[in-house]
Chains A and B, each alone.
Chain A
Amino acid sequence: MAASNPLTTHVLNTGDGIPAAKMAISLHRLNSELMIWNMLSVGTTNEDGRCPGLISPEAFTSGMYKLRFETGSYWESLGQTSFYPYVEVVFTITEPQQRFHIPLLMSRFSYSTYRGS
């Protein structure tokens, strides 16, 4: 049975020690025949830096995905510059019945991501 909310993210502003709220993010899947990215959803992180409902269990199939975080715009909205205009995390899903949590810990001059739970 497919997991509800199979793909989640959590964006943390490690520079200030707070969730990164109101950051625009988008989820894309690679069409491997045409080798182009199809945008599946767009959203904005909530006050807790999360963005529920990125993809439904039915739509979550095996493939290559990309989460794009508009980090540059986020820092700009705080009146600051950043080294990275945006962050894209590209990952491969081979078992879509599992849950995947892909956080982004970021500051103006660094970021990290990992497969969480």
Chain B
Amino acid sequence: MSVSRLQKLEGHILPENKSTTMASPLTTHVLNTALGIPASNMALSLSRQDPCTKDWTTITTGATNDDGRCPGLITKELFTPGVYRLHFETAQYWASTGDTSFYPYVEIVFTINDPGVKYHVPLLLSRFSYSTYRGS
């Protein structure tokens, strides 16, 4: 088999961890620190702010999986420099466990200057506290 034919075939084979798009350059991870478990089935959304109008445009809506993660938040092509917002439906999450919460939702607004690097924006959450940081 020729090298070029082999390379063409390789291009058709997706690596095990590849979904329909490459891994998102922006990831999150929601942890229920009160119980020490991932916060699964939490609805969330990612939006970008228009620098001129300051209006927000929703890019993705989704929910966390069993591990508290939400793959595929954004594609590399769409991930341009700008101000982004992750919105987490935290009260809804606590209500689903039969609890109330101090925070109806959590929004984390952050600035992306270099979309060529990976950004990890986790949320560590209890009913009466939360924290976030730029991770890896």
Give residues in A with beta carbon < 8 Å to B: 64, 72, 82-92, 105, 109-115
Q: Is A111 within 8 A of B102, CB to CB? A: no
Most chain A beta-carbon contacts within 10 A, residue among B102, B106, B128, B133: B102
Distance from A63 Cβ to chain B, minimum over Cβ atoms (Å): 11
Mostly, the A contact residues are strand
Distance from B122 Cβ to chain A, minimum over Cβ atoms (Å): 10
Q: Closest 6 interchain pairs by CB? A: A112-B131, A114-B129, A110-B133, A115-B128, A109-B134, A83-B134
- Given A85-B83, A115-B102, is A90 in contact with B107 using a C-beta cutoff of 8 Å? yes
Q: Is A89 within 8 A of B103, CB to CB? A: yes
Complex: A112 Cα to B108 Cα, angstroms:
11
Q: Is A90 within 8 A of B104, CB to CB? A: yes
Q: Which residue in chain B gives the minimum CB-CB distance to A115?
A: B128
Q: Is B111 within 8 A of A113, CB to CB? A: no
Cβ of B110 under 8 Å from chain A: yes
User: Given A83-B134, A112-B131, list of 17 further CB < 8 A pairs?
Assistant: A84-B109, A84-B110, A84-B111, A85-B109, A89-B103, A91-B103, A92-B101, A109-B133, A109-B134, A110-B131, A110-B132, A110-B134, A112-B129, A112-B130, A113-B130, A113-B131, A114-B128
Complex: A109 Cα to B119 Cα, angstroms:
11
